[in-house]
Amino acid sequence: MDAPPRDKARFLSQYPEGEYRPYGSLVAAWQEITRWIGVRVGGRERVLEIAAGPCVFINNFPAREKHAVDLWEGVRRHAAKDVRVQIRSCTDLGCYPDDSFDLVMAGHVLEHLTIEDALRCIAEVRRVLATGGLFVIVQPNFKYAYRSFYDDWTHRTPFTERGLAKILTLNGLQPTTIMARFFIGSGRKSQLTWLPPLVYRLYLSLPIRPFATQMLIIAEKKEKITYDDR
């Protein structure tokens, strides 16, 4: 989730063996995000998290079969015992056959890729998703995060909710949920990131979420896609 391909993986690999620990507010926030998503997507048997990093989502998401992919070797230390780990890029999921998963999660991944790699990643996600499977994306919405987007030197490609929804649709993934303002920024100094878990839960229950700079898109793999270029 916080260790996407190339630059981010290289950044985390600089930590001495065993010394990287996701800070407490990130863990608390993502535990609540995971719970919120789980309630809305229903039971999913086979789940994959790409660029999983500290594995907060996949460790906490209820599923019979859990998988995590990341280029960073440290992902093995953070994955729970019931999570099967592959060390590889999210642009090449060749270790998985077609139609393998009911849900694929990308938390803060696509913005770290070039647009070419982002398209490769999306194509691979669609391939490994079963028909009716869901691609869940949480990441900065450049429309609201533009002031701080490039403060993270590993960010490469900005997306807005409308642009990303169109890309997904054109690649065979029909957006079913689009939230332009889903959650607050995930950096150490971002708003509200020092608060206890209950506050995150209350925040996610709000119909209007102040300070939110991250978006959520849930897209379903379908054989026939409806495209509306409005």
What DSSP line would sit under 180-205, residue for residue?
EEEE---STTSTTTTS-HHHHHHHHT
pTM of the model: 0.88
Beta pairing, strands 83-87 & 46-50: unpaired
Degrees, nearest 5: CA angle 221-61-75: 95
CA distance 13 to 72: 7
**225 contacts 133 by C-beta, under 8 angstroms:** no
Would you state the structure tokens that stand for residue 118, as one six-digit string? 């982002």
Give the 3-state secondary structure percentages of the chain, helix then strand then coil, rounded to 5.
35, 25, 45
- pLDDT of amino acid 188: 46
pLDDT band for position 8 (cuts 50, 70, 90): low
In this predicted model, what pLDDT tens digit does every residue of 52-104 receive, in sequence order? 999 999 999 999 999 999 999 999 999 999 999 999 999 999 999 999 999 99
Going by DSSP bridges, is the β-strand pair 173-183/101-107 parallel, antiparallel, or unpaired?
unpaired
Q: What is the mean pLDDT of the chain?
A: 88
pLDDT digits (tens, 9 = 90+) for 154-171: 999 999 999 999 999 999
Q: Is 156 helix (H, G, I), strand (E, B) or coil?
A: coil
Any idea how long the chain is?
230
- 66 vs 68: CA distance, rounded Å: 7
Question: Residue 89: its pLDDT value, please?
Answer: 95
Q: Which two tokens stand for residue 119?
A: 């398209």
Tokens of 53: 């990093």
**Confidence band for 1, pLDDT divided at 50, 70 and 90:** very low
CATH code at 7-221: 3.40.50.150
DSSP state at residue 16: P
Quick one: what percent of the chain has pLDDT higher than 90?
Answer: 75
Write down the domain spans for the chain. 7-221
pLDDT at 12 over 90: no
Q: Is the pLDDT of residue 229 over 70?
A: no
Calculate helix-pair angle for 24-41, 197-204, nearest 10 degrees.
Answer: 40
